[in-house]
Amino acid sequence: MRDIEAMLSSSQQQVTGDVFITLKPYHFTLNGISSDNDLLQSKFGSYGEMNNAWTAEDAKGFINIYGNQTKIYQNTNSHD
């Protein structure tokens, strides 16, 4: 139990901000958050096709590298 508590405490060290909830009998509603460190800030990108962190070429390169393990597996385990 102490290890789990230490892991949870450590994982939350960088968490800052406020959480807004509505408390009701037997449940609550999350109304929103406010944090300077919010990873969903609009400066990182917008919903849909727009992203400020990488280009389409970057994404294609990531796809090629990430898919390489599947290509190797298919080439070494093909039963044609």
> What DSSP line would sit under 1-51, residue for residue?
-HHHHHHHHHHTTT--SEEEEEEETTEEEEEEEE-TT-TT-GGGB-SSS-B
The answer on pLDDT for 7 being more than 90 is yes
Is the pLDDT confidence value at 40 over 90? no
* Measured distance CA(23)–CA(30) in Å, rounded: 9
Task: Collect all residues with Cβ–Cβ distance below 8 Å to 19 and sequence separation of at least 6.
Answer: 30, 32, 33
Q: What is the pTM of this model?
A: 0.41
**pLDDT interval class at 55 (50, 70, 90):** confident
Is the pLDDT assigned to residue 46 strictly greater than 70? no
Mean pLDDT of the chain: 85
Token pair recorded at residue 4: 């789990």
